[in-house]
Amino acid sequence: MGPMDRSIDVDGLVNARDLGGLRRRDGAVTPRGVFPFRAENIDWVRPAGWDQLRALGVRTVVDLRQPAERARDVQARPPWLTTRRSSMPGGTTAPRPYTSRPQADTQK
């Protein structure tokens, strides 16, 4: 991760990045490498990715997915990782699952 690059290369994660370095409303800047990292599809992390996350200091995952989305995630987490669940307010239906490439929009 370079000085301006917030992306994080973790085996199996999609769109992982450090949210440090962002300007807050009060003019301060969020600290890098502290809290939080953000990513999609934590259920895709491979064994090497868990090692990478541990080396980055990640010990807790805050899962903001809806219950239906979490139900599809059956991958075991490492014993050193704590997962906290808190559904984001909003819709009651789960969005389409993420895929490796965008799906064509057939509803026009």
pLDDT tens figures, 39-67: 778 888 999 999 998 998 888 888 888 88
Q: Record the pTM.
A: 0.66
Per-residue pLDDT of the chain (108 residues; tens, 9 = 90+): 444 677 788 899 888 888 788 888 999 988 877 666 677 788 889 999 999 989 988 888 888 888 888 888 888 899 999 988 887 776 444 444 444 444 444 444
Decide the pairing of beta strands 60-63 and 82-85.
Answer: parallel
Of residues 7, 36, 8, 9, the one with CA closest to residue 20? 36
Q: Supply 9's token pair.
A: 């290369």
Decide the pairing of beta strands 37-40 and 60-63.
Answer: unpaired
On the question of a cis peptide bond just before residue 36, with omega within 30 degrees of 0, the verdict is yes
